[in-house]
């Protein structure tokens, strides 16, 4: 059978997509708006380091290619073996920095190697010169000085990078004053050194400032998310307490009003019955503690799953749902039903259009297994930010708190499957993913 789309019960109007230019708000399993799932920080440490890596890769490859003509012009003045060998080692380090744009985990090592190898090449340059360079020609490492200083600023600690940014200009000034560097004279040598030092120190300051700003943003966002999660839990507890208090208050107040207006025998009998019910209600509320968890029959649980899916804005096919199964504690039934609904909501929101969705419910002895799946766009779990709370709170943590387990299986273009099992069958040795989104993207 198929569960068809339903209209909004509160307004009677069909659900509509958000208007252009607005930020959509996502509703979590409890029906409350979750701003942490629709707001993303504009700058983070990860995004900043990624941008630095790409810019460094472009600079390394670009300046290395631009320096090729200078090297070949000076090749007649260099040692036939050590000159090309030194240049080849530096070129390989530049290519490694360029390749690190595709391998973020190798970026820091490649940048550090590039900075160190360049410094070695700069210091040993006089040993690779066979004949003195003409004064009009700058040694070929000159064009890579700031590539080395920026690579050091990105890969070294701040104080080490500062020392590096002082050493490179000083070494180059001494090199330019020597015959191997062209004997350019004091004015020209100090101009070149000042140029290198200015750009290197400016880049170092900019990198340090941006990194500290990104770290502050990450810390502030993490603190906000923790406070939001704690506030949501406290709010849910307060809402539940208020609801229970309201029910009890209404029962007692209605009983008292009925008793005050009881002028006939039938009215008195009704007031007495209402009073007994109110007393029983109060006693049940007082005795309902953490250890009290009544059993829910499987047919009632089954009907709750089917009924909850009728509230969605898209059809969900019920492919398998047995009529009989084990009874389960109400906390487990609530967790399974709420997690299933949350998975279906995220599938409707993110899996795409013209998507087939289905749910299956299975029981094997005391174990109940619910699977909500779609053939939508899927997503890459590695792109989901660690600060996302949607599935982690509404599905994974909810099932874990009830003694069950949730497993999310997805890949780009391969759809999404959310498998819920209660009770937890035991330690899982193959943990697939830990994500904050289902049905085609981060919720």
| Structural domain count of the chain | 2
Integer Cα distance of 373 and 408 in angstroms: 10
- Final residue belonging to a domain, choices 178, 193, 219: 219
Q: Would you say residue 82 lies in a domain?
A: yes
Whether residue 144 contacts residue 64, with contact meaning beta carbons closer than 8 Å, is answered with: yes
Q: Would you say residue 237 lies in a domain?
A: no
422 SS3 class = strand
DSSP 19: P
Whether residues 190 and 78 share a domain: the answer is yes
Q: Would you say residue 369 lies in a domain?
A: yes
* Rg of the chain (C-alpha set): 34
pLDDT of residue 337: 83
Whether residues 181 and 57 share a domain: the answer is yes
- HSE-up (13 A, CA, CB side) for residue 127: 9
Q: Domain range holding 309?
A: 295-422
3-state secondary structure string across the chain: CEECCCCCCCCCCCCCCCCCCCCCCCECCCCCECHHHCCCCCCCHHHHHHHHHHHHHHHHHHHHHHCHHHHHHHHHHECCCHHHHHHHHHHHHHHHHHHCCCCHHHHHHHHHHHHHHHHHHHHCHHHHECCCCCCCCCCHHHHHHHHHHHHHHHHCCHHHHHHHHHHHHHHHHHHHHCHHHCCCCHHHHHHHHHHHHHHHHHHHHHHHHHHHHHHHHHHHHHHHHHHHHHHHHHHHHHHHHHHHHHHHHHHHHHHHHHHHCCCCHHHHHHHHHHHHHHHHHHHHHHHCCCCCCCEECHHHHHHHHHHHHCCCCCCEEEEECCCCCCCEEHHHHHHHHHHHHHHHHHHHHHCCCCCCEEEEEEEECCEEEEEEEECCCCCCHHHCCCCCCHHHHHHHHHHHHCCCEEEEEECCCCCEEEEEEECCCCCCCCCCCCCCCCCCCCC
Whether residues 214 and 302 share a domain: the answer is no
Q: Would you say residue 67 lies in a domain?
A: yes
Structural tokens at position 347: 């599938």
pLDDT of residue 239: 59
Picking from 338, 350, 311, the residue whose alpha carbon sits closest to that of residue 26 is 350
Mean pLDDT split into 10-residue runs, the chain, 443 residues: 41 38 39 46 80 94 91 91 94 95 91 96 93 87 93 95 96 92 88 93 95 90 86 74 54 66 70 69 56 77 82 76 80 82 79 84 86 83 60 72 83 84 63 40 43
Whether residues 321 and 199 share a domain: the answer is no
Structural tokens at position 147: 């590539």
Whether residues 198 and 77 share a domain: the answer is yes
pLDDT of residue 398: 74
- Final residue belonging to a domain, choices 178, 197, 219: 219
Whether residues 208 and 316 share a domain: the answer is no
Whether residues 338 and 212 share a domain: the answer is no
Whether residues 73 and 215 share a domain: the answer is yes
Full-model pTM? 0.51
Whether residue 344 contacts residue 360, with contact meaning beta carbons closer than 8 Å, is answered with: no
- Final residue belonging to a domain, choices 219, 240, 257: 219
Whether residue 401 contacts residue 420, with contact meaning beta carbons closer than 8 Å, is answered with: no
Picking from 88, 51, 81, the residue whose alpha carbon sits closest to that of residue 67 is 88
Integer Cα distance of 153 and 115 in angstroms: 9
Integer Cα distance of 426 and 196 in angstroms: 61
Residue listed under structure tokens 């498998």? 419
Residue listed under structure tokens 């400032």? 209
Give DSSP secondary structure letters for 217-241.
Answer: HHHHHHHHHHHHHHHHHHHHHHHHH
What's CA 334's distance to the chain center, in Å?
27
pLDDT of residue 294: 79
Asked if the peptide bond before residue 404 counts as cis, ω within 30 degrees of 0, the response is no
What's the burial of 246, exposed, middle or buried (CB within 10 Å: 0-12/13-18/19+)?
Answer: exposed
Q: Would you say residue 427 lies in a domain?
A: no
Integer Cα distance of 77 and 71 in angstroms: 10
Whether residues 175 and 64 share a domain: the answer is yes
pLDDT of residue 8: 38
Q: Where are the alpha helices (DSSP H) in 124-157?
A: 145-155
Picking from 399, 390, 435, the residue whose alpha carbon sits closest to that of residue 416 is 435
Q: Would you say residue 428 lies in a domain?
A: no
Query: How many other CB atoms are found less than 10 A from the CB of residue 207?
Result: 17
89 SS3 class = helix
Q: Would you say residue 228 lies in a domain?
A: no
Q: What is the CATH number of the domain that holds 339?
A: 3.30.565.10
258 SS3 class = helix
From residue 155, give the alpha-carbon distance in Å to each of 53, 119, 122, 250: 10, 14, 19, 67
Q: Would you say residue 317 lies in a domain?
A: yes
């Amino acid at each position: 059978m198929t569960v068809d789309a339903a209209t909004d019960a509160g307004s009677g109007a069909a659900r509509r997509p958000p208007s252009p230019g607005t930020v959509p708000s996502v509703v979590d399993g409890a029906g409350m708006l979750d701003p942490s799932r629709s707001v993303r920080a504009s700058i983070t440490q990860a995004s900043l380091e990624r941008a630095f890596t790409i810019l460094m890769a472009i600079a390394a490859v670009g300046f290395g290619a631009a320096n090729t003509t200078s090297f070949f012009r000076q090749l007649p003045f260099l040692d036939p073996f050590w000159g090309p060998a030194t240049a080849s080692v530096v070129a390989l380090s530049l290519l490694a920095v360029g390749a690190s744009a595709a391998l973020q985990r190798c970026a820091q090592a490649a940048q550090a190697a590039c900075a160190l190898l360049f410094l070695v090449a700069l210091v040993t340059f006089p040993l690779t010169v066979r004949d003195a360079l003409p004064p009009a020609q700058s040694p070929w490492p000159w064009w890579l000085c700031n590539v080395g200083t920026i690579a050091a600023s990105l890969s070294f600690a701040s104080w080490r990078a500062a020392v590096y940014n002082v050493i490179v200009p000083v070494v180059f000034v001494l090199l330019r004053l020597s015959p191997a560097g062209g004997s350019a004279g004091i004015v020209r040598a100090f101009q070149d050194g000042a140029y290198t030092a200015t750009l290197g120190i400016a880049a170092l300051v900019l990198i340090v400032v941006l990194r500290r700003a990104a770290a502050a943003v990450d810390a502030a966002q993490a603190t906000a998310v923790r406070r939001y999660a704690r506030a949501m839990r406290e709010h849910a507890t307060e809402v539940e307490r208020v609801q229970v208090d309201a029910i009890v208050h209404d029962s007692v107040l209605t009983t008292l009003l009925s008793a005050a207006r009881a002028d006939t025998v039938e009215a008195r009998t009704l007031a007495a019955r209402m009073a007994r019910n109110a007393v029983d209600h109060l006693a049940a509320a007082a005795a309902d503690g953490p250890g009290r968890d009544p059993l829910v029959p499987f047919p009632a649980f089954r009907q709750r799953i089917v009924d909850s899916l009728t509230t969605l804005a898209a059809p969900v096919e019920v492919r398998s749902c047995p009529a009989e199964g084990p009874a389960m504690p109400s906390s487990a039934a609530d967790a399974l039903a709420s997690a299933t609904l949350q998975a279906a909501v995220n599938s409707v929101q993110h899996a795409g259009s013209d998507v087939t969705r289905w749910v299956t419910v299975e029981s094997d002895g005391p174990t109940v297994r619910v699977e909500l799946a779609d053939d939508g766009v899927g997503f890459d779990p590695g792109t989901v930010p660690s600060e996302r709370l949607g599935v982690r709170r509404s599905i994974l943590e909810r099932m874990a708190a009830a003694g069950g387990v949730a497993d999310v299986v997805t890949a780009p273009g391969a759809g999404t499957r959310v498998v819920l099992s209660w009770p937890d069958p035991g330690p899982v040795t193959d943990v697939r993913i830990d994500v904050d989104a289902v049905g085609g993207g981060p919720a």
